[in-house]
Amino acid sequence: MEPKIAVIGLGYVGLPLAVALAKTHVVVGYDTSEQRVRELKEAHDRTREVDESILKNTKLQVSTDPSSMLGADIFIVTVPTPVSAGNLPDLEPLRKASEVIGELIGKGSVIVYESTVYPGVTEDFCGPILEKISGLKSGVDFFLGYSPERINPGDKIHTVDKITKVVSAQTPIVSQKLAQIYGQINNNNIFVAKSIKAAEAAKVIENTQRDINIAFMNEISLIFSKMNISIYDVLEAASTKWNFLKFTPGLVGGHCIGVDPYYLAQASKNLGYDPQMILAGRSINEAMPNELADLMTQRVGRSLRLLILGLTFKENVPDLRNTKVTSLIEALRKRGHQVDVHDPCADPKEANQFFGYDLVPVLTLDDPYDGVVGAVPHTLYCQFSTADFSRFLKPQGWVFDLKAIWRSSPPAGFNYWTL
Ligand SMILES: NC(=O)c1ccc[n+]([C@@H]2O[C@H](COP(=O)([O-])OP(=O)(O)OC[C@H]3O[C@@H](n4cnc5c(N)ncnc54)[C@H](O)[C@@H]3O)[C@@H](O)[C@H]2O)c1
């Protein structure tokens, strides 16, 4: 008989996974957020990862009631793993989820963690909580697994059914069981890792590697701007070499790339090793909003009334968590600029609730700006022509193109700047 599966945490990661698993299994989705569960019951996914028509037809049951998971054989945990104010790993959501699961498990249960963590969290942090609450023994009565999630919000190509899924567990039999279950989602595109810790480490270095590579781009873009060389001219030339890695400068926000390196760094510090490269990458990327605000201010030499295009942490997603555009806005304001923000993907209510911003609802010429800052390459902005800029920008106004969105054909009649 196919096992009953419970997915704990129905966000960007949990919902698409739960919906995919529900095609072949009995799946219950549990989330502590009343609002999230209410919206999902109404077939509305505010993360825009799962379409309304799919939610209307899925067999997935969602609930805020832990007892809805009674009788589940496999528990998959996809709760957040943020950092605290001091950039320390915050394992509270994992603790709470494990405490709830501990009440529900029995002999033979399998608990798989998907949240991004540092090596050891599954077996040395979550396992003991499950043991304490359930009174059962890890690796004997119930079994742990770890399967990192690689989906990339807003990316409609690398979806949960198309990416290689790494699985790991305490025993080979449980690993095979997980490989078989996840394999039904993605045509058996499974990699069984040697150990749970290896799988945990693999995920955290995937994101740390990106952070470090982007930090290198950010650093050289600042060096080259002092030399009056465009980083993009350099990258075009350098990327003709077969083994040159293709990264570009940018603000690193969100709850993965800008957060996960801190997990690895803290685990390293706990073991007495100072993770210099990882933290150097973080500090370069964290400094970029100030650096960019300085470059723009130096370029114009006066205060401007600016419109920022894009607030979300990356393109074409509504996710505002840990967006670094807010740091850029604050840095520009500190340098005397007046700043408004527009974003076609962000929820205006959330922008106000989280940051106190009133998003500019429409781009018109009623009160034209001295400059615009292309901060997030949403598709709408990528399609802008000169006529679009003319709708909200003064003649000879400034176009600060932080993501080189319009670099190939800068709008005519304006001052154009990019790195
Ligand atoms: N979003 C991504 O791109 C991505 C990609 C790969 C891995 N991850 C990792 O996956 C994990 C989840 O990320 P996400 O983006 O889906 O987060 P999210 O914030 O979108 O979703 C988490 C959900 O869990 C719920 N939740 C919080 N605490 C809970 C609890 N104790 N019990 C039940 N539900 C709870 C929240 O209400 C929310 O709906 C994180 O560890 C993240 O690092 C995220």
State pLDDT tens for residues 211-244. 999 999 999 999 999 999 999 999 999 999 999 9
Q: Which atom of ligand 1 is nearest to the CA of 15?
A: 16
CATH number (1.25.40.10, 3.40.50.720, 3.40.50.620, 3.10.129.10) of 4-194 reads 3.40.50.720
Residues contacting ligand 1 via CB (< 6 Å): 8-14, 30-33, 36, 78-81, 93, 96-97, 114-116, 149-153, 255-256
Quick check: 317 and 345 in contact, CB under 8 A? Answer: yes
Class of domain 216-418: alpha beta
Per-residue confidence at 161, pLDDT binned at 50, 70, 90?
confident
Any catalytic annotation for residue 256? yes
Please list, in sequence order, all residues whose beta carbon lies within 8 angstroms of the beta carbon of residue 222, skipping any fewer than 6 positions away. 291, 295
Question: In what helix (H) or strand (E) does residue 329 lie, and over which residues does it extend?
Answer: helix 325-334
Q: Which of 7, 78, 115, 164 should be mutated for ligand 1, with most atoms under 8 A from CB?
A: 78
Q: Which atom of ligand 1 is nearest to the CA of 97?
A: 31
Instruction: Supply the residue whose CA is at minimum distance from atom 10 of ligand 1.
Output: 115
Q: Which of 7, 12, 39, 203 should be mutated for ligand 1, with most atoms under 8 A from CB?
A: 12
Whole-number average pLDDT of the chain: 96
Residue located via tokens 């990416």: 163
Instruction: Supply the residue whose CA is at minimum distance from atom 32 of ligand 1.
Output: 97
What pLDDT, in 10s, does the model give residues 372-384? 999 999 999 999 9
Report the distance separating Cα 416 and Cα 386, nearest Å.
12
Phi/psi of residue 45, each to 5°? Answer: -110, 105
Does this chain's domain 4-194 share its CATH topology with 216-418? Answer: yes
For the chain, the straight-line distance linking the first and the last C-alpha, in angstroms and rounded, comes to 58
Spatial strand order in the sheet of 110-113: 61-63, 26-30, 4-8, 74-77, 110-113, 143-146, 165-169, 190-192
Exposed, middle or buried, 135 (CB in 10 Å: 0-12/13-18/19+)? Answer: exposed
Q: Say what the pLDDT of residue 225 is.
A: 96
Q: Which atom of ligand 1 is nearest to the CA of 31?
A: 34
| Half-sphere exposure at residue 87, Cβ-oriented, CA atoms within 13 angstroms | 15
Residue located via tokens 């609802």: 361
- Residue-range domain boundaries for the chain: 4-194, 216-418
Q: How much distance in Å is there from the Cα of 31 to the middle of ligand 1?
A: 10
What pLDDT, in 10s, does the model give residues 364-418? 767 899 999 999 999 999 999 999 999 999 999 999 999 999 999 999 999 999 9
Of 344, 342, 391, 400, the residue nearest 371 (C-alpha)? 400
Hey, which residues does 26 pair with through a beta bridge? 4
Sign, Cα dihedral of 245, 251, 253, 258? positive
Tokens of 418: 């990019």
Q: Is the predicted pLDDT of residue 155 greater than 90, yes or no? A: no
Q: How much distance in Å is there from the Cα of 344 to the middle of ligand 1?
A: 24
